[in-house]
Structure 1
Amino acid sequence: MWNRFVAMGDSVTEGIGDEVEGIPCLSWAYHFAKEWQERCPELIYTNIAIRGQTTAEIRRTQLGKCMALRPDLVSLMAGGNDVLQGRWNASAFEQEFGEMLSTLLQTGVTIISSTVPDFPKLRTLPTSQAGQIRSQLTELNQLIREKCVEFGVPYAELWHAPFTLNLETWSRDGIHPNSVGYMALAGAMNDVLLQIKNTPNGPLGGISK
């Protein structure tokens, strides 16, 4: 089992979004940690994700901080801002993401990750613009899958995962989950960790929920 969980990433891991149904808008990582603390009461949770950060910025500002906390469980979700901010560079992402996975794994931690969803916001954009962004997100997700398989890192498959297709799980901006969506995302990430726990040699590949 695990003793210290550190969540790395951008606004989706930080927990930005709308509150619905009287449910506080808290990061998926909060709900995830709370679930696992019932199994591992000694588990310490730290969220160092920063909204708006690209993959390169996550590596520069969060990787060292994460390692200093000496976790044995890390979540790394990155890449969405590379595309949404118009800064997509496939080779740069592959290098930055791969470097973070490699560096973290050298410390013996367990890492979980995810692909990015097909953001509802794209449905409101002109067809040509939405098509370009969706094409880049598709390329991003393929690189995430490849790097995760290369390094043996299990990931949640969020691209067209059923809960991401339900508009009631999204904030009004169409980019961030709402409080219900974050709980659903926590469930998807929880399934990833359960797969690790229940598979002696550690799994490869993604889980779609």
Structure 2
Amino acid sequence: MELNATYTSLVAVGDSFTEGMSDRLPDGTYRGWADLLATRLAARTPDFRYANLAVRGKLMGQILDEQVDVAAAMKADVVTLVGGLNDTLRPKCDMGRVRGLLTEAVERLAPSCGRLVLMRSPGRQGPVMQRFRPRMEELFEHIEALAARHGALVVDLYGVPALGDQRLWDVDRLHLTGEGHRRVAEAVWQALGLDPEDDWRAPLPPAVRPGWMTRRAADARFAREHLGPWIGRRLTGRSSGDGLPAKRPDLLPYETPYGTAYGTPSEPPGA
């Protein structure tokens, strides 16, 4: 990897993780690691261009059908592809099909861009993670094999203890907070051969364990506001991303809307 390489364009492909949930801005929109990465790249490269095709809730087949060819046609310096985890969280998941869809996506994207970036995504510590861990690890092993075959980068977030810390996850227990997204942006930045700004793997300060009543109240809020609606969407075949457009569908010059070169991590909802 060339150190301090120049990248003039970035296209991000994926689901809610790449859309930026739950790094909420004051106007209610989401920022996220891809926006933060674009902000930093734009600060060092004149005429930098950025597109973010990600939409929350998308399965790997939808990412392939709706985003991959669009991204490939943009011929960007860097394309990031993160997908498949929504599939692994479904009660019935054909992992062979998911692997095949991901393979097809990588085969289309790798020849079209200067650098394809894949990820072993982070996971929150807890019982949900334990239940779906075998599927996730099967997906991640396939990602490693695809990267080796096609010369892609893999940003390994999965085994980093700090990114499993519950304090870096929103109240929905599925999406990173602003600080979590900031760390992912730094991880991708460093993987691209750019000078580190800080240690994204650094552990958080020791936590003060909340009391029993506080934990039960948080569990009740999670079930009411997030788990119940999520189950309802699964039962009815709906997705949180139904009808939503990509946040930045065109590869256009990027000027940060956040006022600084890197930005300050947003306050997570419900903090």
Q: Report the TM-score when normalising by structure 1.
A: 0.82
Residues 133, 5 of structure 1: alpha-carbon distance in 2 compared, 3 angstrom cutoff: same
Identity among equivalent positions (%) equals 24
2:10 aligned residue: 5
Aligned-partner residue type, residue 63 of structure 2: I
> 5 Å matches for 1:142-181?
142-181=141-180
Residues 5, 18 of structure 1: alpha-carbon distance in 2 compared, 3 angstrom cutoff: closer
Aligned-partner residue type, residue 175 of structure 2: H
Per the TM alignment, residue 145 of structure 1 is displaced from its structure 2 partner at its CA by 1.3
How many residue pairs are counted as aligned between the two chains? 192
Counterpart CA distance in 2 for 1:7 and 1:171 is 22
Per the TM alignment, residue 155 of structure 1 is displaced from its structure 2 partner at its CA by 1.1
Residues 87, 188 of structure 1: alpha-carbon distance in 2 compared, 3 angstrom cutoff: farther
> Structure 1, residues 9-45: CA drift from partner, whole Å, max 9, x if none?
000000111549xxx8511000011111122122111
Per the TM alignment, residue 112 of structure 1 is displaced from its structure 2 partner at its CA by 0.8
Larger Rg: 2
Structure 2 unpaired stretches of 5+: 1-5, 202-271
Per the TM alignment, residue 68 of structure 1 is displaced from its structure 2 partner at its CA by 3.1
Aligned-partner residue type, residue 191 of structure 1: Q
Structure 1 unpaired stretches of 5+: 198-207
Q: Which of 98, 102, 113 is the aligned partner of 2:103?
A: 98
Q: Is the 8 A contact 1:25 1:178 kept in 2?
A: no
Q: Report the TM-score when normalising by structure 2.
A: 0.64
Relative contact order, higher structure (CA 8 A, sep 6+): 2
Residues 162, 191 of structure 1: alpha-carbon distance in 2 compared, 3 angstrom cutoff: farther
Residues 168, 150 of structure 1: alpha-carbon distance in 2 compared, 3 angstrom cutoff: same
Counterpart CA distance in 2 for 1:67 and 1:187 is 25
State the SS of the aligned residue for 1:181: helix
Aligned-partner residue type, residue 45 of structure 1: Y
> 5 Å matches for 1:19-168?
19=24, 25-120=30-125, 123-125=126-128, 131-168=130-167
Residues 133, 37 of structure 1: alpha-carbon distance in 2 compared, 3 angstrom cutoff: same
Residues 44, 69 of structure 1: alpha-carbon distance in 2 compared, 3 angstrom cutoff: same
State the SS of the aligned residue for 2:12: strand
Aligned-partner residue type, residue 86 of structure 1: P
Per the TM alignment, residue 2 of structure 1 is displaced from its structure 2 partner at its CA by 2.4
Residues 155, 162 of structure 1: alpha-carbon distance in 2 compared, 3 angstrom cutoff: same
RMSD, aligned CA: 2.6
Counterpart CA distance in 2 for 1:83 and 1:50 is 17
